[in-house]
Structure 1
Amino acid sequence: MFKTDHRLMGEKEANNSRKNVQMQEINKRPRINLPALRDFLSQFPGKFQRHLKSRFKRPTETEGANRDIFKLKDANFSLEKQMQAWKKNPVWDDDQPPSIEVVVPEGSLCQVNVKTKVGLPPDAVYNIVTDPDNRRVFKNIKEVLSRKVLLDEGSRQIVELEQAAIWRFLWWSGTISVHVLVDQNREDYSMKFKQVKAGFMKRFEGSWRVEPILLDEKLCHPFKPKTLSEYMSCTQCNGRIASKVTLQQLVEPAIVPPPPISWYLRGITARTVEVLINDLVEEAARIKGVSATDLVTTNLNLDQALSNEIQTLDIKERWALRRRNSRVKERKDRF
């Protein structure tokens, strides 16, 4: 007969008890989500590379253009100090007219894309564009009907805005209410606007963007400034900062009219945006104390009248050409 060893049985029971306690402690611990961990590890190299590229991106623009690494936000050189360089040398001989492109997306009347340069720092240009009372600058705004700040995060604001805009068509003129949400962000000098609800206009949206241009960067040659402090230092505070302004505006009425009316309306829309840009350039000249005639050589009222005549003539010619082509095509089809 075998005798039972009570000591061994007691040790086994104690070991089993300790194992049970350990298993309970392990079960209480939060478990690792293995699929999520695998996804994170697989995506981490790509995200890390993109982060490094964004942090150490090399400039690709030509000399004097904006660069991603160029930091315009510098407490040591406020807008007032940046303007002092323009006060010393207010005239900028930039003879390039605004670049205006009119495209026709499917279902829309037109989209107007404008690029121009303005002889003021981005902060000053952005102040003009986002000024609640900018109707004194832009002649196509008759009045501001309402303005409500929905979100204010300091450098970024979301504003609900309703304005009465002036319109002209042939011999008629009047005002139309433009009700938009505006998302403006001073960190990157951008502003996006979009119509609140459809009405006469099915879609009305677009964006402004302002970027810095280092006009006097050649004074730093061969040194390449990477910050505003470096630029102002190497130019002995005489370096001027201008702005590249980009405006994109999409217009889609509830009913897109057929030619030739649609051609005429596209011309009016493009002309309205052009006047808007001219108003901005004139205001920049006023702020610098330069006569507007030094920068804008055409009289806007006269130019408006001539432009309307040219637009009408152009439409008539295109319509006549289209009719002639249709008749020629009909003759060819007969034979």
Structure 2
Amino acid sequence: MGMIALQVTVPKGSLCNLHLKLKVGLPPDAIYNIVIDPENKRVFKNIKEVISRRVLVDEGPRQLVEVEQAAIWRFLWWSGTISVHVLVDQNREDHTLKFKQLRTGFMEKFEGCWKVEPLFVDEQLCHPFKPKTLDEYNSCTGGKGRVGSILSLEQLVQPAILPPPPLSWYLRGITARTTEMLISDLVAEAASIRGNASAANSSQTSETSENTSNGNTLQAFDVKERWRHRRNAPRRRNNRELSR
């Protein structure tokens, strides 16, 4: 839906500070589901393995999770695997995900925040009124306005010892490239979900028109439910294959 806008700054004493923002063609809740999914290894190719995942606090929409992953990085002809051990504070109410490194080693600091905000695609339908909330947007568009997302990331990477150039340049390039790969995978997953949703809507529209004469109506699933159904489909196929 939008190009990736990635800016890299170099604060004194750190390797880099990444600022990223892009538009994605799915509602915030659907995007957030992809980001916080414990099994998102299937989406993000740079996650080699989830070593451990432990929920420390569960308050419904907000969770505090300790996660350790083996992450793959690639840059030019170099590649490798690093362990990432972070504390994740995820809050569905404002669609934020804050992470901070727990165990220092090569990295003195590795922290940041993901945020997903609603994008009112058909905001012009509300003119001259400018909606500020999803409820206001639904009200002025009669519930027909399309909703996308604005995804942003702030990430600070600070090594215990900052290497001199050109090694610091390579590490900075690896960090930026790894983030770009992560976002590209997320955008591809969003496009796949959106395509499946469009196909499901077309099918439901056809079925609804056929059943109208019988007084039957079909209730459309929301994007979140379709995404869950799609995510669980491979598991159901594997279970059927094992039972044969």
Query: TM-score, normalised on structure 2?
Result: 0.75
- Count matched residues: 196
Equivalents in 1 of 2:129, 2:111: separation in Å? 42
For residue 198 of structure 1, report the CA deviation from its aligned partner: 0.5
Matching residue's letter, 1:241: V
Bigger proportion of residues as helix: 1
For 1:289, what is the secondary structure of its paired residue?
Answer: helix
Tell me which residue corresponds to 1:182.
88
Matches within 5 A, 1:120-269: 120-168=26-74, 171-225=77-131, 227-269=133-175
Deviation digits for residues 3-57 of structure 1, max 9, x if unmatched? Answer: xxxxxxxxxxxxxxxxxxxxxxxxxxxxxxxxxxxxxxxxxxxxxxxxxxxxxxx
For residue 165 of structure 1, report the CA deviation from its aligned partner: 0.2
For residue 175 of structure 1, report the CA deviation from its aligned partner: 1.4
For residue 223 of structure 1, report the CA deviation from its aligned partner: 4.1
Check 1:236–1:130 CA distance in 2 against 1; reply closer, same or farther (3 A cut).
same
Do residues 103 (structure 1) and 9 (structure 2) align? yes
Equivalents in 2 of 1:192, 1:248: separation in Å? 9
Q: 2:20 touches 2:152 (CA, 8 Å); kept in 1?
A: yes
More RCO (CA 8 Å, sep 6+): 2
Query: Unaligned stretches of 5+ in structure 2?
Result: 197-244
Matches within 5 A, 1:13-28: none
Matching residue's letter, 1:283: E
Q: 2:74 touches 2:177 (CA, 8 Å); kept in 1?
A: no
For residue 224 of structure 1, report the CA deviation from its aligned partner: 4.1
Tell me which residue corresponds to 1:65.
none
Equivalents in 1 of 2:84, 2:126: separation in Å? 46
Equivalents in 1 of 2:136, 2:113: separation in Å? 31
Check 1:230–1:108 CA distance in 2 against 1; reply closer, same or farther (3 A cut).
closer
For residue 149 of structure 1, report the CA deviation from its aligned partner: 0.3
For 1:187, what is the secondary structure of its paired residue?
Answer: coil
For residue 230 of structure 1, report the CA deviation from its aligned partner: 4.4
Equivalents in 2 of 1:227, 1:268: separation in Å? 38
For residue 287 of structure 1, report the CA deviation from its aligned partner: 0.5
For residue 264 of structure 1, report the CA deviation from its aligned partner: 1.6
Deviation digits for residues 251-299 of structure 1, max 9, x if unmatched? Answer: 1222221111111211121111111111111111010117xxxxxxxxx
For 2:115, what is the secondary structure of its paired residue?
Answer: strand
Equivalents in 1 of 2:5, 2:73: separation in Å? 23
Check 1:195–1:239 CA distance in 2 against 1; reply closer, same or farther (3 A cut).
same
Equivalents in 1 of 2:136, 2:157: separation in Å? 43
Paired-residue identity, %:
70
Matching residue's letter, 1:148: R
Tell me which residue corresponds to 1:274.
180
Equivalents in 2 of 1:199, 1:130: separation in Å? 25
Check 1:222–1:164 CA distance in 2 against 1; reply closer, same or farther (3 A cut).
same
Matching residue's letter, 1:246: S
Query: TM-score, normalised on structure 1?
Result: 0.55
Matching residue's letter, 2:7: E
Structure having the higher Rg: 1
Deviation digits for residues 65-120 of structure 1, max 9, x if unmatched? Answer: xxxxxxxxxxxxxxxxxxxxxxxxxxxxx4x5221111112211111110111111
Equivalents in 2 of 1:163, 1:115: separation in Å? 24
Q: 2:107 touches 2:160 (CA, 8 Å); kept in 1?
A: yes
Q: 2:75 touches 2:173 (CA, 8 Å); kept in 1?
A: no
Equivalents in 1 of 2:43, 2:148: separation in Å? 19
Q: 2:56 touches 2:63 (CA, 8 Å); kept in 1?
A: yes
Tell me which residue corresponds to 1:30.
none
For residue 167 of structure 1, report the CA deviation from its aligned partner: 2.2
Check 1:107–1:225 CA distance in 2 against 1; reply closer, same or farther (3 A cut).
closer
